[in-house]
Structure 1
Amino acid sequence: MPRAVREQQMMDAAVRIFGQRGFRAASMDEIAELAGVSKPLVYLYLNSKDELFSACIARESKALVAAVQAGVQPGLPADRQLWEGLRAFFTHTAENPDGWAVLYRQARTHGEPFAGEVNVMREEIVAFVTGLIGAAAREAHHDPALPDRDVTGLAQALVGAAEALAGWANETPGVSAKEAAATLMNFSWAGLENLMNGRPWQPQGQSSPSSR
C-alpha cells in the first residue's frame, strides 16, 4: 500500500480516537488497532503521539477552512453569501464530528502548541467572515458605514457563536446542519441588516457604544 494511503488510514483512525476518547485518554495502541497496522508502524510514519495530534489538527483545520470557502459563491447577495458559508460550516462539522471535536474541544484544552495551531485555523475563518460582513456593508453603503474594528468584532462574535452551536448541534439528536445554520442566520442577520441600513441598537437616551 502506498505510504500516503497508509498515512491517511492512520490519520482517520487517530481523528476518530482523539475525537471520541480525548487526547490524554487516547492510546497509540488503539489508533494502530483501528487503522489495522502495528504500533511501531504508527511511530515510524508519525513519530509521536504529540506529532500525530498536531497532524490531525492541521488536516482537519485545512478541510474545514476549504469547506467554508468553497461553500460561498462570489457575486451572490450578502445574506446569501453568509447563509451559504454558515450552511457549509455546519454541514462539514456535522459530517465530521470527530474532526470537529479534535479542533473545538481537544486542541484548545491541551495548551501549546495545539491551541496555537487551531487558533490559526480560527483566524482564517474570522478573516473570511470579516470579508463577507465588509462586503455586505459595501453593498448597503457606497461608503461603508461600519468601522473596520466593528466589522472584525462582529466576525469574531459570529464565529464564536457558530463554534458553540456546532458543538451543541452535534450532541443534540435530530438537529440538522441546515437547522443549525438557519438558527444562527436568523439570530445574526436581523442585527446585521439593521447595522447595514444605519439602524444600530443603542441604550435609550445614550449614544452608540462605537461613538464613545
Structure 2
Amino acid sequence: MLLILVSVTLWFCSVRAFLTENSGFHCMTRHSMRLNRAVHGEPQKTLPPFEFHFVDTKGHDTSYYEPGKIYTIRLIGFVHFRGFLLQARLTNENGFLLGSLKGGRFIESKNWETFGVRMQKCDRRSLSWQDSVTHSNDSRKFIVQVEWTADREIGAVQFLLTIAEEDEIYWERWRPQTGFIMPTSWRGKHINIIQEVFNDEKAAFLQLAGSSFT
C-alpha cells in the first residue's frame, strides 16, 4: 500500500511539473513584466540564482554597445527555470527606467528552438514585437542565449527579466547590474549610477532626491 502511495505521489508531482503559461508569458505581462498573482502567487524576494552576460563578437563581457553590431545575451541558471521574459528597457543616465520604453531588437535564429525561445508577439502589425522575448516551451532550462542589436544609439539600456523556476517560484523584474549597458560614445563619460537602483528603484530615487538637497 505504501509503495502504491509513493508511486502515485511521484506521478502526481511529475504531472504537476509544468508552467500554466507553458508556451510563453501572456501579452498582459508585456509592459509591467509582472505575473498574474492568482496563478503564480507572490514573487521571490531572494537574490535571483542566475547569471546575466552581455557579450561582444569577441566573446568578452561588455558594458557598452555600438549601433549596428550584434551582441549575445546569455542567461545561466544555478537552478533550472521553465519560463522567462526578457526585454531591453531604456533608462536615463542614473539608471532609472523611462517608463516601459524599450529599445533595440532581438534577432531570431535557428538556435531559438534549441533554447526554447520565441518572440513575445503581441502586435504583429508593428516591428515593436521584436523587443520582447519569452519561452516557447516549459522544459527545464539552465541556459538561454539570444542575440540583440540596436540600429541606432538609444542611450542607456537596462535588460529586465522575469524568470520562473516553477509556477509559484519566480523572480520578477530582475535588474542585473551586468545588464546595464551604454553606447560606446559614452566611454569616459562620468555616469552617476546609484547601486540601489538595481535592487530597489524607489529607494534609489529617494536617495538621489536626498543627495540633491545636501
TM-score with structure 2 length normalisation? Answer: 0.27
Higher relative contact order (CA 8 A, sep 6+): 2
Report the structure, 1 or 2, having the larger strand content: 2
Report the structure, 1 or 2, having the larger helix content: 1
Higher Rg of the two aligned structures: 1
